[in-house]
Structures are given as structure tokens and as C-alpha cells.
């Protein structure tokens, strides 16, 4: 009995401290976005209701609604907010047939979308409210389709009969209407249709559900999560409900995906940038830190983030084995790659990242960019009025940068360390056409060249 009382007191004390921390984080949230988000006038990025550009820095807590108790939800969300994540990507109903931490499933009959169980969605709503209080956007997949037979969709690698198609367009529409009505009062939501797979035979039902959400909650933006190497616009032909494109890829030789001939992030994004009609896009998924050995390194995480931002994307999604919230999930909260993304946010948050023009022709890094199509390619972008250039160099090398895009009389060049966020001034000079640089060491670096006058 004594142990139980001590444990109870400790849990109460821990909850109190978490609540205090939540208040502190919320109080420091004066610059939190004013949801709901909307498209910018040029359709290249998202803005809030005050027209402030929204730089998307997501963590993939896919099983947030299912695996964590109330205290753990608060701890997880508060930690992510402190570390400058502003989005959580998550699944509404988990994998097919899965129950939440209380043993409740979203549907009484796991195969029938009309058998909605209210207590499951009551719990979801509490989590949405907590995220909203912290200024966090939730990107929610209503019915995760699944790459490999685990979800509600068809044509996976294992491929069960598609539960989405068996339910059909009518029940899919009714479920879309239900979740839109249930959660329409929350402005911190966007929807991710699909989930790790192309629509295939589910296309009609998915479209029916998406149209229903859009009709009931038009302020909640919608995207689609296709198979790796495909973006939303690769698999949908300009439907009215598709507001945002989600890109998703790994790199060539990655044998955990459905094809090893996998383009790199910058390749997919360059292609997306030139599509018509223009849509804002972000990197929804790529390699997860802590998975697949050396492939899931901190450097790989930074490559993906910087490649996405410098090639026209308005942000990216970060992942770890924490996506499924295993028993040791807290051990993934402080991985080095994830922590370094705070500096990624700072670098672009201090500048007009939304006015960047990506360099798809290597006219900025004219020497030393590496081989296009390899996992070590350097990319760059310039601010549209000529105020600055930012280049990301994935590994040590000599580079030559053409500064012709910078206007003015003098410029300042600096190295930005993406691991600790520190600047080192390289030097100042009159604007010239080209400068030659050598990275400080063999690690990844960012070079920032800015107009002084």
C-alpha cells in the first residue's frame, strides 16, 4: 500500500510539473500561428490567418491517438513544441483493427465504417485540444491506407482485400462527413488522405471521403500521401479537394522501399516545383533517424530537411522509431538529427524563406555540387530580390559559388553549422561573380552569402 501511495504522489507531482511546463510553453507561444492555415497568394507555401508564412517542421507521431495515456500525450507534445516542431503527423484510426490504449477501436465492426464508436473519437478530441493549446498543427490521416497490408487500403505489398473499397464511396463519404463535423471547430488540423500507397482501386472511395471533408470543413486543408517516390500530384489529376502536394522518397539503393531506383528528395522537389497548376508542397516522409543502420543517421536527416527547403518545399516531416511509440519511445526524443532541426528552423525563420528561388540548374554552385542523382548533392537557393544565397553542402569539399544573383555593392559570407547553429564569418568583400570556398571539415555545412549594402 505504501508503495502505491508513493507512486500515486509521484505521478501527481509529475503531472503537476508537466502542467506547469505546458503553461510556460503556451505563454511563450505569443508568435504561434493563427490557424487555420491557407494557401499563399502565389500558391507556393502556406500562411496563417494573419498572412504569416508557415514553415512546416513536423514530427511523425503516427500512433499518437492510440498508444499514449493522457500524461504521456502531454509530455510528448510539450517536448516536441519545445524543440521547435510545429506539426505532428498522425493517424486518426491507426492500422486496420487496432484499438487505442483503453482497448477501444474506432469501429465496432473493424470492417464497417458505419459502426463508429464515439469513445474512441472522444479521446482523439482531447488530444487535438491539447495540441491546439500548444500552437501545434495536426496533420491527420483519417484511414491509413498502408503500404504493406497493415492499413485500410488495397494493393499493398502483402495486399489484403481493401477495406476502403469494400465499404465503398457511400460509407467513405459518411465517415468523411462524420470526422469533418466532429472536428470542424478545430482550426489546427489538415488532413492526409491515403497513407504510404497510391490510391489504386480505392480512388473513388478516397475521393468521396475527401470531397465530404472539404464540403463540411473547407477551412481544413487536404493532401495525399502516395507511395515512396510519388507525390500527391503524381497520382491525382488536379482534384478540387487537393490543396497541398506531399512528396515522399528515399534515395537510390535504398532497399526498404518498393523500388531501389528511388530518386533523391531534391530531384522529386525540383520536378514538383515546375508542375502546373502550382501547389505548395512539403516532404512528408523520408528516411527515419535511428532506422536502417547508417542510412538513418543525423546527417541524412539534415540532408532531407535542407534539400526540401532549398528546392521549393515549405518544410518537411521528420521521423524516428517513436512513430509507433514503443515502450522505450522517450529514448528517441533527443536524437542528434532531430535536435539539430531546431537550428534548421532558426536559419530559415530569420529569413524570407518563402521568397527563395531554388537553383535547379546548378547556376549558383558552379563547381563542387557533386553528381546529380546521388545522395551527396549540394543544393542552393537565392532570395528573389537578390539579398542572399543559402547553399547546403552535405559533406566536406571545395566549392565555387556564383554570386551574380546577389545585388548591391558588398557581401558577407559565413559558414552556418547545422549541428549547433553557430555562424563563422568567412569574410566580406565587394560583390563579385564567383567565390571559392572549402568547408571547415568533412561534415555537412551551410554557406550563407548576404548583401551588406
If asked whether residues 310 and 386 sit together in one domain, one would say no
Answer yes or no: do 177 and 82 share one domain. Answer: yes
Query: Region 77-100: what's the mean pLDDT?
Result: 98
Segment 338-352, tens digit of pLDDT: 999 999 999 999 999
259 and 367 belong to one structural domain: no
Greater confidence, 1 or 229? Answer: 229
Q: What is the CATH number of the domain that holds 105?
A: 3.20.20.80
Residue 144 falls within a domain, yes or no?
Answer: yes
Residue 106: domain span:
30-355
Backbone dihedral angles phi then psi of residue 297, each to the nearest 5 degrees: -80, 165
CA pair distance 37, 51, nearest whole angstrom? 9
Instruction: List helix spans (H) across 368-444.
Output: none
389 by DSSP, 3-state: which?
strand
β-bridge partners, 192: 223
Do 409 and 337 share a structural domain?
Answer: no
pTM: 0.93
The C-alpha atoms of residue 11 and residue 95 are separated, in whole angstroms, by 30
Among 81-90, 314-323, 359-368, 424-433, which is the least confidently predicted range?
Answer: 424-433
Closest by Cα among 275, 206, 278, 276 to 241: 206
Of the residues 355, 388, 412, the one at which a domain ends: 355
**For residue 124, pLDDT beyond 50:** yes
Q: Is 2 among the domain residues?
A: no
Q: How many structural domains is the chain composed of?
A: 2
pLDDT at 135 > cutoff 50: yes
Residue 10 lies inside a defined structural domain of this protein: no
Q: Does 145 lie in the same domain as 56?
A: yes
- Please report the sign of the dihedral spanned by the C-alpha atoms of residue 185, residue 186, residue 190, residue 194: negative
Considering the domain architecture, whether residues 220 and 309 belong to the same structural domain is answered as yes
Residue pair 182/121 in contact (Cβ under 8 Å)? The answer is yes
Buried b (16+ CB within 10 A) or exposed e, 136-169: bbbbbbbbbbbbeebbbbbbbeeeeebbbbbbeb
Amino acid at each position: 500500500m505504501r508503495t502505491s501511495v508513493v507512486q500515486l504522489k509521484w505521478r501527481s507531482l509529475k503531472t503537476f510539473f508537466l502542467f506547469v511546463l505546458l503553461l510556460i510553453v503556451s505563454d511563450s507561444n505569443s508568435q504561434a500561428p493563427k490557424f487555420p492555415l491557407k494557401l499563399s497568394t502565389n500558391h507556393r507555401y502556406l500562411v496563417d490567418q494573419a498572412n504569416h508564412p508557415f514553415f512546416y517542421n513536423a514530427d511523425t507521431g503516427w500512433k499518437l491517438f492510440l498508444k499514449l495515456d493522457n500524461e504521456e500525450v502531454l509530455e510528448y507534445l510539450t517536448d516536441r513544441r519545445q524543440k521547435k516542431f510545429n506539426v505532428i503527423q498522425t493517424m486518426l484510426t491507426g492500422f486496420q483493427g487496432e484499438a487505442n490504449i483503453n482497448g477501444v477501436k474506432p469501429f465496432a465492426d473493424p470492417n464497417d465504417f458505419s459502426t463508429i464508436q464515439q469513445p474512441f473519437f472522444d479521446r482523439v478530441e482531447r488530444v487535438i485540444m491539447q495540441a491546439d493549446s500548444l500552437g501545434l498543427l495536426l496533420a491527420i490521416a483519417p484511414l491509413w491506407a498502408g503500404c504493406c497490408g497493415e492499413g485500410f487500403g488495397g494493393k499493398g505489398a502483402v495486399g489484403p482485400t481493401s477495406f476502403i473499397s469494400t465499404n465503398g464511396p457511400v460509407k467513405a463519404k459518411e465517415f468523411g462527413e462524420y470526422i469533418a463535423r466532429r472536428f470542424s471547430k478545430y482550426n489546427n488540423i489538415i488532413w492526409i488522405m491515403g497513407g504510404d500507397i497510391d490510391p489504386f482501386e480505392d480512388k473513388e472511395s478516397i475521393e468521396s471521403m475527401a470531397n465530404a471533408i472539404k464540403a463540411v470543413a473547407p477551412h481544413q486543408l487536404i493532401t495525399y500521401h502516395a507511395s515512396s517516390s510519388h507525390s500527391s500530384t503524381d497520382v491525382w489529376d488536379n482534384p478540387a479537394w487537393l490543396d497541398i502536394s506531399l512528396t515522399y522518397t528515399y534515395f537510390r539503393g535504398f532497399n526498404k522501399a518498393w523500388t531501389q531506383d528511388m530518386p533523391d528528395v531534391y530531384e522529386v522537389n525540383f520536378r514538383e516545383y515546375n508542375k502546373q497548376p502550382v501547389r505548395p508542397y512539403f516532404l512528408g516522409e523520408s528516411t527515419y533517424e535511428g532506422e536502417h543502420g547508417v542510412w538513418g543517421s543525423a546527417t541524412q536527416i539534415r540532408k532531407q530537411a535542407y534539400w526540401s527547403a532549398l528546392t521549393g518545399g515549405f518544410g518537411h516531416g521528420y521521423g524516428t522509431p517513436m512513430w509507433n511509440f514503443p515502450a522505450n519511445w522517450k529514448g528517441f526524443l533527443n536524437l542528434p538529427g532531430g535536435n539539430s532541426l531546431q537550428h534548421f528552423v532558426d536559419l530559415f525563420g530569420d529569413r524570407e524563406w518563402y521568397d527563395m528561388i531554388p537553383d535547379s540548374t546548378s547556376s549558383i554552385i558552379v563547381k563542387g555540387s557533386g553528381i546529380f542523382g546521388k545522395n551527396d548533392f549540394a543544393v542552393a537557393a537565392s532570395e528573389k530580390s537578390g539579398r542572399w544565397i543559402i547553399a547546403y553542402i552535405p559533406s566536406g569539399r571545395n566549392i565555387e559559388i556564383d554570386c551574380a544573383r546577389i545585388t548591391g555593392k558588398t557581401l558577407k559570407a559565413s559558414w552556418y553549422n547545422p549541428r549547433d547553429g553557430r555562424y563563422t564569418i568567412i569574410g566580406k568583400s565587394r560583390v563579385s561573380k564567383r567565390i571559392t570556398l572549402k568547408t571547415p571539415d568533412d561534415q555537412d555545412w551551410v554557406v550563407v552569402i548576404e548583401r551588406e549594402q
